[in-house]
Chain A
Amino acid sequence: MADHMVPPTPLEYAPAPESRSIVDLEPSYGLFIDGAFTDGTDGGTFKTVNPATEEVLAEVTEATPADVDLAVAAARRAFRSWSRMPGRERAKYLYRIARIIAERSRELAVLESLDNGKPIKESRDVDVPLVSQWFFYYAGWADKLSYAGAGPNPRPLGVAAQVIPWNFPLLMLSWKIAPALAAGNTVVLKPAETTPLTALLFAEICQQADLPPGVVNIVTGAGATGEALVSHPDVDKVAFTGSTDVGRSIARAVAGTEKKLTLELGGKAANIVFDDAPMDQAIEGIVSGIFFNQGHVCCAGSRLLVQENVYDEVMERLKRRMTTLRVGDPLDKNTDIGAINSREQLQRITALAEVGDAEGAERWSPPCELPSSGFWYAPTVFTGVTQAHRIAREEIFGPVLSVLTFRTPDEAIAKANNTPYGLSAGVWTEKGSRILAMADRLRAGVVWANTFNKFDPASPFGGYKESGYGREGGKQGLAAYLQEGEGQ
C-alpha cells in the first residue's frame, strides 16, 4: 500500500451528495391564487438564493396589497363550498395531498435543502415525512370535528391568513394549512421571503390533488406582504409563526377586530442535565437540542443547565462530540450542520455571539473548516455564562449554546423559568419522580424528558408567556380553527 493511500480515519467521509437533478426549477414563479399561478399586479420580483452557495435559485413575485386582496377574495369565494362540503370529502382531498407529498418526498427534500440550507438528512428524514404525516393526521379529523372540543356543532372561522418562517418552510406550511383545511377554513399563506420555493411546489401539489380553486392561496413577499395579509379586513383568522417582536406587532394590528389569533413565537429553552442523567443520551440530546437545523429552531435547547458536580464530565464529552459534527454542503448526506439561512441571520448570530465575548463568556468551537462562499457558522458553545448575559436571555436562533450551572432542583427551576419565553424545556435524569416534579414546575408548553426536539402531528406544540398563544398539533391545534356553533 502506497503511503498516500493511508486509510481515512473513521471520521472522514467521502462526499455523498444527493443529486439535485430531481428538482426542476423554473427561472421565475408567480403567485398561486384561485387555483392558478398568476403574475403579480405590478411585476415586482425578488430573488431567492441557495444559502450554501449564494447562487440565485429563482425569481419570485412580490405580492402587493392588491394581490393579497385577490387572494383573500378567492379564499372567501372558495370558503362557501369548502366549508359546506361534507367532512369526509374534505378529508379525501387532505389524504390525497398527504400521499402526493410522500410520492414527491425526495424532490421536496432536495428543494427544501437548496432553498433553506438545512442538511438533506434532516429535510429527507424529519421535515418532509412530518409534512406528509401532518396532512394525513388532520385529514382524519375533517369528518370528526364534533369531537374536537369546540362543542357539538363546531363551525370553521372563515378565511385564515397564515404567515410562516424560514426555518422549517414546508413543515410550518403543513402545521398551518392541514388543520385549517380539515376544519373547513380556506387559507392565504405567505411563506418567508428567503424560502418560498417549497410552498410554490406545494401549490402544484394542490393542483395535482384537484383541490378546489381558492381553498389554498400562496402569496410570496416580504414583511409588507405579510402585513397586508394579516391586516386585511376580510380575514377571520390570523396564524403566525416567527419572532416575538413581529408577533407583538401582529397582536396590536389584530386588536379591536373580530379576528382570532394564534402565535408561535420565540424561545430560550433550558435543557437541564442532572448528575444522574443517562449521560450518552443526554449528550446526544444537548447536541441535537441546539445544533439541529443549525439552531434555527424556536424551541432549541439554547440554555444548557448542568448540575455542578457533573459539569466537567458533561463539558468534556460535549466538546468531544462536537468535534465530530460535520459542517458543510447541505446536499451531502453526511452533513450534520448546513448553511445559515441568510446573510442577515448570519449577521445577527455573529453580533450576538460577539456580545457574549464582550460580556466575558468563554467561547469554544471545534476545529472546522467552513466553505468559502455561502453563509456559515461553526457550532459554538459559551461557558461561564450568567443569567445576566444577553446570550442567556435573547434568542440567538443559531448554532450557539450557552452553558450555566446549578446545584439543586429549585435552582434549576428558578433559572429555567427566568425568561420571558416559555416554549419548551428539557430534563435529563433517570429519577422518575424528579422528572414529574420538574415537568410540573417548568413554565413551558413542551417538556422533553430524556429526549429533545421531538415533533408529531398528534402532539400539541406551543408556548407560555411571550412564546405566543394557541397550540399547533393534536386536537388543540384543530380547535384553533373552529368556533362553537349554535345548537346541540
Chain B
Amino acid sequence: MSRLDVRKTYKLYIGGAFPRSESGHTYEVLDTQGRFLANAAKASRKDARDAVGAARKAFGGWSSRTPYNRGQILYRVAEMIEGRHDQFTADVVAAEGLTKAQATKVVDAAIDRWVWYAGWADKLAQVTGNANQVAGPFFNLSSPEPTGVVAVVAPADDSLLGLVSVVAPAIVSGNTVVVVTSYDRPLPAITLSEVLATSDLPGGVVNVLTGDATELGPWLAGHLDVNALDLTGVDGAEVAADLEAEAAVNLKRVLRPSSPDWTAEPSLTRMTAFLETKTVWHPVGV
C-alpha cells in the first residue's frame, strides 16, 4: 500500500504566528483547471485588526534596526526562498497554471527581486536624502523615514513575483505590512509566510491575510492605525476609488492600482511611496 501524504493546513500569518481565522471560515482554493488544492483561511475583519495591531507593535523595533541589519534579514529571506525553490515552483505551477520551466523562472525572479531590494536597505537614504544648503548658518539635512504600517492588496494574478514585488519595497525601509494575498491564488503567499517565519524577520513585520480583498479592504482603508494603503492588486476602478476615499479619514498615503510588468527591474517608486522626508535644522556656531 502506497503511503498517504500528510497535507498542510493553510493558515494566516499574524504577529509571527500561524492562526486560523478567528471567524472559523475557510474557502476552497482550486488550481487553474478547477481541481481542489486546499482550504485556505478566510480572514475576517477581526483578523485584519489583529494584523494591524501586530504590525503596529513591530514597527518601533523594525524601523529602528540598522539598515544594514534589515538588509541582512531581507537577504536571508532570499536564501530561504532559494532553499524552498522546488516547493515554490510547485505552488506557482498549481496556482498560475504555468509549466514547470515557466514557474522556475518566476521563482528565480522572485528571489532576485528580494536580493535587489535587500541591497537598498542601507543605500536609500543616500539616494533619496540630501544636505540642504540654506541661506543661513544652519546644518540642514533631509533623510527618509518609514511611513509606518502599510496595508497592501497584493496582485491577483502574479501570486508570488507580484507579492514579493509589493512587500519587499515596503519593509526594506522599516515599514511593517499587512498584506491581503491574491484571493484565488493564495498558496505561494502562505509558503512565503513560512519562509518569513524562519528568516529572522521579527514577528509582525509582515502579516499575511488570505481572503477577500473587497471584504477586508474597507476595514484596512478606514483603520486609524494604518498609515498607508497600497491598492496595487485591487480589481475595479470603483472599488479602488472607494478605498482611496475611505483612506482619507487619516490621510493615508495611497498607491493607486496598477499592473506593471513584474519581470522588469523596478524603479524606486514603490519604496519612496512609503517614505517620509524628515528635515533637521541646527544652528552652526562656535
**Residues of chain A having any CB pair with chain B under 8 Å:** 133, 149, 151, 244, 247-249, 251-252, 255-256, 263, 265, 420, 435, 439-440, 444-451, 454, 456, 458-462, 464-469, 471, 474-476, 484
Contact check, B251 vs A244: say whether CB atoms are below 8 A apart. Answer: yes
Per-residue CB contact flags for chain B residues 247-282 toward chain A (1 = under 8 Å, else 0) read 111110110000000000001010000001111111
Does B240 lie at the interface of the complex (its beta carbon under 8 Å from any beta carbon of A)? yes
Contact check, B277 vs A448: say whether CB atoms are below 8 A apart. Answer: no
Contact check, A256 vs B250: say whether CB atoms are below 8 A apart. Answer: no
Question: Which residues of A lie under 8 Å from residue B128 when comparing CB positions?
Answer: 149
Q: A444-B278, A468-B251 are in contact. Are A459 and B142 (CB under 8 A)?
A: yes
Question: Which residues of B lie under 8 Å from residue A468 when comparing CB positions?
Answer: 251
CA distance A252 to B237 in the complex (A): 15
9 A-B residue contacts at CB 8 Å? A149-B128, A249-B248, A255-B247, A446-B280, A449-B282, A456-B136, A458-B133, A459-B140, A465-B148
Does B184 lie at the interface of the complex (its beta carbon under 8 Å from any beta carbon of A)? no
Question: Which residues of A lie under 8 Å from residue B242 when comparing CB positions?
Answer: 255-256
CA distance A249 to B245 in the complex (A): 9
Question: Which residues of A lie under 8 Å from residue B147 when comparing CB positions?
Answer: 464
Question: Which residues of A lie under 8 Å from residue B244 when comparing CB positions?
Answer: 251, 255-256
Q: Please count how many residues in chain B sit with their CB below 8 Å of the partner chain's CB atoms.
A: 38
Contact check, A451 vs B281: say whether CB atoms are below 8 A apart. Answer: yes
Beta-carbon nearest neighbor of B243 in chain A:
A255
Contact check, B279 vs A460: say whether CB atoms are below 8 A apart. Answer: yes
Contact check, B238 vs A256: say whether CB atoms are below 8 A apart. Answer: yes
Per-residue CB contact flags for chain B residues 75-87 toward chain A (1 = under 8 Å, else 0) read 0000000000000
Our pick among A265, A444, A475 for the contact of B251 (Cβ within 8 Å) is A265
**Among A252, A263, A462, A467, residue most surrounded by chain B Cβ atoms (within 10 Å):** A252
CA distance A420 to B251 in the complex (A): 10
Contact check, B136 vs A454: say whether CB atoms are below 8 A apart. Answer: yes
Q: From residue A271, how far is it (CB to closest CB) to chain B in Å?
A: 13
Question: Which residues of A lie under 8 Å from residue B249 when comparing CB positions?
Answer: 248
Question: Which residues of A lie under 8 Å from residue B135 when comparing CB positions?
Answer: 133, 456, 458
Q: From residue B4, how far is it (CB to closest CB) to chain A in Å?
A: 51
Contact check, B251 vs A251: say whether CB atoms are below 8 A apart. Answer: yes
Interface residues of B in 124-138 (CB under 8 A from A): 128, 130, 132-136, 138
Contact check, B276 vs A450: say whether CB atoms are below 8 A apart. Answer: no
Contact check, A451 vs B282: say whether CB atoms are below 8 A apart. Answer: yes
Q: From residue B130, how far is it (CB to closest CB) to chain A in Å?
A: 6
CA distance A475 to B131 in the complex (A): 11
Does B227 lie at the interface of the complex (its beta carbon under 8 Å from any beta carbon of A)? yes
Q: A456-B136, A474-B132 are in contact. Are A151 and B267 (CB under 8 A)?
A: yes
Does B241 lie at the interface of the complex (its beta carbon under 8 Å from any beta carbon of A)? yes
Our pick among A251, A450, A469 for the contact of B283 (Cβ within 8 Å) is A450
Q: A247-B251, A248-B249 are in contact. Are A448 and B281 (CB under 8 A)?
A: yes
Q: A445-B276, A450-B282 are in contact. Are A459 and B267 (CB under 8 A)?
A: no
Q: A445-B277, A464-B276, A468-B251 are in contact. Are A475 and B269 (CB under 8 A)?
A: no
Our pick among B64, B250, B278 for the contact of A420 (Cβ within 8 Å) is B250
Contact check, A460 vs B142: say whether CB atoms are below 8 A apart. Answer: yes
Contact check, A475 vs B237: say whether CB atoms are below 8 A apart. Answer: no
Contact check, B248 vs A446: say whether CB atoms are below 8 A apart. Answer: no
Per-residue CB contact flags for chain B residues 101-126 toward chain A (1 = under 8 Å, else 0) read 00000000000000000000000000
CA distance A420 to B250 in the complex (A): 8
Beta-carbon nearest neighbor of A466 in chain B:
B251
CA distance A149 to B268 in the complex (A): 9
Question: Which residues of B lie under 8 Å from residue A474 when comparing CB positions?
Answer: 130, 132, 142, 279
Contact check, B140 vs A256: say whether CB atoms are below 8 A apart. Answer: no
CA distance A204 to B61 in the complex (A): 54
Question: Which residues of B lie under 8 Å from residue A462 when comparing CB positions?
Answer: 277
Question: Which residues of A lie under 8 Å from residue B138 when comparing CB positions?
Answer: 451, 454
Beta-carbon nearest neighbor of A251 in chain B:
B248
Contact check, B279 vs A435: say whether CB atoms are below 8 A apart. Answer: no
Our pick among A149, A450, A469 for the contact of B253 (Cβ within 8 Å) is A469
Contact check, B281 vs A446: say whether CB atoms are below 8 A apart. Answer: yes
Q: From residue A299, how far is it (CB to closest CB) to chain B in Å?
A: 11
Beta-carbon nearest neighbor of A463 in chain B:
B276
Q: A456-B134, A456-B135, A475-B130 are in contact. Are A435 and B282 (CB under 8 A)?
A: yes
CA distance A174 to B36 in the complex (A): 62
CA distance A192 to B244 in the complex (A): 27
Contact check, B250 vs A466: say whether CB atoms are below 8 A apart. Answer: yes
Q: From residue B193, how far is it (CB to closest CB) to chain A in Å?
A: 29
Question: Which residues of A lie under 8 Å from residue B248 when comparing CB positions?
Answer: 248-249, 251-252, 255
Q: From residue B243, how far is it (CB to closest CB) to chain A in Å?
A: 8
Contact check, B281 vs A454: say whether CB atoms are below 8 A apart. Answer: yes
Question: Which residues of A lie under 8 Å from residue B237 when comparing CB positions?
Answer: 256
Beta-carbon nearest neighbor of A440 in chain B:
B64
Other than the given A445-B278, A458-B132, A459-B140, 9 more pairs (CB < 8 A) read A248-B251, A251-B245, A256-B245, A445-B279, A446-B280, A454-B136, A458-B134, A459-B279, A460-B132
Contact check, B245 vs A252: say whether CB atoms are below 8 A apart. Answer: yes
CA distance A469 to B274 in the complex (A): 11
Beta-carbon nearest neighbor of B240 in chain A:
A256
